[in-house]
Chain A
Amino acid sequence: MIHFIEAVMQYGFLQKALITSVMVGVISGVIGCFIILRGMALMGDAISHAVLPGVAISFMLGINFFIGAVITGILTAVGIGFINQNSRVKNDSAIGIMFTAAFAAGIILITFLKSSTDLYHILFGNVLAVRPSDMWMTLIVGVFVLVSVFIFYKELLVSSFDPIMSQAYGLPTKMIHYFLMILLTLVTVASLQTVGIILVVAMLITPASTAYLLTDRLSVMIGISATCGTISAIIGLYLSFTYNLASGATIVLVATALFFTAFIFSPKQGLLWRSIRTNKQKSAVS
């Protein structure tokens, strides 16, 4: 651990990696709470895959890859909504159809790019190769996401909890949905370098689900989720650096370990205390 801290002090690439992955841990933890509470875990997976063609096109045109990614991410979200509302195809099927199509198109586009290492890095992340421009972009996106959630917290809360009531009193729930999709796309793209497309969904749903097991208040849940995301990023990066493991996969596995810890030991929802309480009650009445 000391060695790792020394290395962070010493090497610029490691500092950038640490700052980027902590920011990603925080914002995916925050947005992830709304994603899981709205039952949109699959949507998170879909958007993360759907940014691939956008990233490819951005590379081809030589523009910042956030732009292309947001466009294809949102188009996919709109496409899913459209199929869902205009046919009997169920929501999860609509999501599956659209995101695999976008992902397939992305793979074909990527093969037109010069190097195949790009595809590998986009799919699996490579946080140790984060450039300063990427780090700044992640920080800007992070601040934008956090400020948006802070400003519209009340509206996000009520439209997630009771969409019908929200609509009844005049909230533009559709607009809120698409705004959340934009935030989700931004978070996904920001996470590309840290964990890669394939594993982004883990950063969205695993810390949020951990937090969900630990509290009954949304504001607290968001805090715990962001903390879990941060801890996963730091410990994951440390293990990845020390034992030379794939950074994205390591970060995700740390997040998973935190989830199972909560799953077993959560004071209210955890397996352990639940069975202890149940047994106590059983022996009390027998």
Chain B
Amino acid sequence: MNNAIVVSNLHVSYYGKEVLQNIGFTISEGKSVGIIGPNGAGKSTLLKALLNLIPKDKGEITILGSELKEVRKRIAYVPQRSTIDWDFPITVKDTVLIGTYPTIGLLRRPGRLEKELALKCLEKVDMTEFQNRQIGELSGGQQQRVFLARALAQQADLFLLDEPFVGIDATSEEMIVKILKELRDVGKTIIVVHHDLNKAEKYFDELLLLNKELIAKGSVKEVFTPKTIASAYGGQLSFLDEVMAK
């Protein structure tokens, strides 16, 4: 099996304050992986470093077997919901259509094929009836589904999602999980940042437990030991209790 992501010796800091320290891991193609850890652990930073959205101090990153700039268009990234301007004058349909922009290139407009693809992706997340709504007029779960549809329209091989389950309803969550599983089953690699341990077991093949350093990586059972959880979540006892109860 090929590796989707190989990271070694990665260090990232913001203005001298180290946020990620000596991170190294490998993710195989066709796996769904959860990145978990407490607030401020550096999970979003790790995704951004993978995409070179922030500079790294040190380290090697190989994505889909190449350098990042060779494969940018094969990656779909769904940022945290809080980074989007929900008042932007754009409809649901046009938001999904943006997913086709990376591949149609400069100077060209999306045509009939792209529009059909966008509609198909909207249908997949069951949002067809909302296609002409402005994106701010949706519930949190519906918004997240639209952004998943946009990622689908990118027809990527690697999907990176930052906290897709925050503030969304149970139906939307189930639907997103189901679609991610389907993607995984056809060989796509899925990486999801997820800040709580709940359901992590059901959702992902593997977990990365992060808190500035990589605390543990492996199957859910390997990662969920009281020792690793305690060192990641420290004093946050409620989480510890949760895991102990399992």
Contacts of A169 in B (CB 8 A): 72-73, 75, 77, 101-102, 154
Q: Are A158 and B98 neighbours in the complex by a CB distance under 8 Å?
A: yes
- Which parts of A173-231 form the interface with B (CB within 8 Å)? 212, 215-218, 220-221
**Bound-complex Cα distance A162 to B75 (A):** 16
B17 at interface by CB-CB < 8 Å? no
Residue of B at shortest CB range from A218? B89
Taking CB atoms, residues of chain A closer than 8 Å to B75 are 168-169
> Residues of A contacting B77 with CB < 8 Å?
164-165, 168-169
Majority DSSP secondary structure for residues of A touching B: helix
Interface residues of A in 140-191 (CB under 8 A from B): 151, 153-155, 157-158, 160-162, 164-165, 167-170
- Interface residue tally for chain B (C-beta within 8 Å): 27
Which residue of the partner chain A has the closest CB to B87? A212
The answer to whether B91 has its CB under 8 Å from any CB of chain A is: yes
Chain A positions within 8 Å of B129 at CB level: none
Tell me the complex Cα distance, A216–B73, Å: 28
B186 within 8 A of A: no
For the complex, what is the distance from the CA of A154 to the CA of B77, rounded to whole Å? 18
Q: Cα distance A212–B85 when bound, in Å? A: 14
- By the criterion CB–CB under 8 Å, are A161 and B98 in contact? yes
Task: Give Cα A262–Cα B184 distance, bound, in whole angstroms.
Answer: 49
Q: Can you list, as one digit per residue, whether each of B71-110 has a CB less than 8 Å from chain A (1) or not (0)?
A: 0110101010001110011110011001001100011111
Complex formed: what's the CA distance from A160 to B84 in Å?
10
> Which of chain A's residues has its CB closest to B85's CB?
A161
Residues in B103-152 with C-beta less than 8 Å from chain A = 106-110, 134
Whether B72 contacts A170 by the Cβ 8 Å rule is yes
Please tell me which one of the listed residues B53, B102, B108 contacts residue A164 in the complex, with CB atoms under 8 A apart: B53
Measured between beta carbons, the chain A residues less than 8 angstroms from B106 are 155
Is B19 at the interface (CB under 8 A from chain A)?
Answer: no
Known: A162-B79, A162-B84. A221 touches B98 (CB 8 A): no
- Cα distance, A155 to B101, chains bound together (Å): 8
B182 to chain A, nearest CB (A): 22
Chain B residues near A157: list those with CB within 8 A: 90, 98
- A218 in contact with B90 (CB, 8 Å): yes
A-B contact count (CB 8 A): 64
Q: How far is the CA of A217 from the CA of B83 in the complex (A)?
A: 20
Interchain CB contact under 8 A, B101 and A212: no
Is B51 an interface residue, CB under 8 A from the partner?
Answer: yes
List the A side residues contacting B72 at CB < 8 Å: 168-170
Selected from A153, A160, A170, the residue in CB contact (under 8 A) with B102 is A170
Is A37 part of the contact surface with B, judged by Cβ < 8 Å? yes
Pair B83/A216 contact, Cβ less than 8 Å = no
CB contact between A154 and one of B69, B79, B91, B109 (< 8 Å): that residue: B109
Cβ-defined partner of A212 (8 Å) among B83, B89, B109: B89
Asked whether, in the complex, the Cβ of A158 is within 8 Å of the Cβ of B101, the reply is yes
Which A-chain residue is minimally distant from B100 (CB atoms)? Answer: A154
Q: Select which of B53, B109, B154 is within 8 A of A167 by beta carbon.
A: B53
Q: Are A37 and B53 in contact (CB under 8 A)?
A: no
Q: Nearest chain B CB to A269's CB is how many angstroms away? A: 10
Determine whether the beta carbon of B79 is less than 8 Å from that of A164.
yes
Most chain A C-beta atoms within 10 Å of own C-beta, residue among B75, B89, B101:
B89
Cα A170 to Cα B51 in complex, Å, equals 9
A153 CA to B107 CA, complexed, in Å: 9
Which of A220-244 touch B at CB < 8 Å?
220-221
Contact A151 B53, CB 8 Å, known A162-B98, A170-B69, A218-B89: no
Query: A177: shortest Cβ distance to chain B, in Å?
Result: 15
**Min C-beta distance of A224 to chain B, whole Å:** 10
Q: Which residues in A have their C-beta under 8 angstroms from that of B69?
A: 170
Residues of A within 8 A of B51 (CB): 167-168
Once the chains bind, are B107 and A151 in contact (CB under 8 Å)?
yes
Chain A residues with CB below 8 A from B95, complex form: 161
Choose among A168, A216, A217, A218 the residue that contacts B53 (Cβ–Cβ < 8 A).
A168
Query: A212-B89, A217-B90, A218-B89 are contacts. A165–B79 as well, Cβ < 8 Å?
Result: yes
Query: What separation, in Å, do the CA atoms of A155 and B90 have in the docked complex?
Result: 14
In whole angstroms, what is the CA distance A102 to B109 when docked? 40
> Are A154 and B88 also in contact (CB < 8 A) when A164-B79, A170-B72 are?
no
Q: Is the CB of B79 within 8 A of A217?
A: no
> Whole-angstrom distance from the CB of A226 to the nearest CB of chain B?
15
- Apart from A37-B89, A168-B75, A170-B73, list 8 A-B contacts with CB within 8 A: A154-B110, A157-B98, A162-B84, A164-B53, A168-B72, A169-B72, A217-B90, A218-B88
Binding site for B on A (CB under 8 A): 37, 151, 153-155, 157-158, 160-162, 164-165, 167-170, 212, 215-218, 220-221
Name 17 interchain pairs, CB-CB below 8 A, sorted by A: A157-B90, A161-B88, A161-B98, A162-B83, A162-B84, A164-B83, A167-B51, A167-B53, A169-B72, A169-B73, A169-B75, A212-B89, A215-B89, A216-B91, A216-B134, A217-B90, A218-B88
